[in-house]
Each structure stands twice: as structure tokens, then as C-alpha cells.
Amino acid sequence: MEHKIDFIQSEALPVLDNLLRKEANEGSYDFAYVDADKLNYWNYHERLMKLVKVGGIIVYDNTLWGGSVAADPATVGHRGGAVTQSTIQFNKSIAADPRVDISLAPLGDGITVCRRIY
Ligand SMILES: C[S@@+](CC[C@H](N)C(=O)[O-])C[C@H]1O[C@@H](n2cnc3c(N)ncnc32)[C@H](O)[C@@H]1O
């Protein structure tokens, strides 16, 4: 399968931006899995909305962030900081995004399955 795999080890945003420079890449991907730095999830989403085809799937990991997104801020300890706030905002934004259908599965640390609908 080696000829089908293009392994890139890098900061994710410049790689996605680079892919978007080539018009043929737009709407060409069937699937993306996002599990990098949580503060950039929305930035990844905006780029993946262009790269993944209509009907394609994006999976975002850790969208419950240890349950902290739904917990009393006084009880969440080290998971109550910037990543929690960012994940809460991401969850609200993706739930309101008309370009996608989503389901947040309470599996592990929370997995949001997202299908691009247009
Ligand atoms: C939770 S781990 C991912 C584990 C991976 N999904 C697996 O199952 O092996 C998060 C990974 O994101 C990488 N990462 C963090 N920030 C990143 C960024 N800005 N761009 C690309 N990768 C990043 C980290 O180096 C780390 O390997």
C-alpha cells in the first residue's frame, strides 16, 4: 500500500493550507481524523470543510475532554482551562454549522462524527 500513502510529519495547519493551494484537492478526501492540538480544532474544521468531499466524514477526538465540557467549572481541576473553553466553543460551533450533520458519541473521551452535507 506504500504507493497510496503520503506520510507527512509536520505542523498540521500549514500542511492543510498547502493542500488547499492545489485546486484538485478541494472536495477530494473521503475521511479525516483530527486528534492534534485541541485549540486549533475550528481552524482544522474550516480547512477540512474544503478538502473533504460532500458526503465525506470527519472524526474529531476528545470532544468531551474528560467530561469537563459539561462539568461544574469548580470541579474539573486541570481540565478546566483553555482546552475546555475551546472545546465547549468548538462543540457549539460545529453543532450550529449548517454544512455538516454531527453526532457526539460518549465513547472514550468523546468522539464527534461529522458528515459534510454541502
Ligand atoms: C493524542 S496524540 C494523537 C495520537 C494518535 N491519534 C494515535 O492514535 O496515535 C496528539 C498528537 O498531535 C500532535 N500534535 C499536537 N499539535 C499538533 C499540531 N499543531 N500539528 C500537528 N500535530 C500536532 C502531537 O505531537 C501528538 O502526536
Q: pLDDT tens for residues 28-71? A: 999 999 999 999 999 999 999 999 999 999 999 999 998 889 88
- Residue 52's beta-bridge partner residues? 29
Instruction: Answer whether 70 contacts ligand 1 (Cβ < 6 A).
Output: no
**Domains (range + CATH), the chain:** 11-116 (3.40.50.150)
d(CA 12, CA 40): 9
The pTM is what? 0.94
Tell me if 38 sits within 8 A of 87, measured CB to CB.
yes
Asked if residues 118 and 99 have their Cβ atoms less than 8 Å apart, the reply is yes
Choosing from 9, 18, 35, 43 the residue with most ligand 1 atoms within 8 A of its CB, the one to mutate for a pocket test is: 35
Helices 41-51 & 12-20, crossing angle to 10 degrees? Answer: 20
Provide the phi-psi class of 27: left if phi over 0, else alpha when psi is between -120 and 50, else beta: left
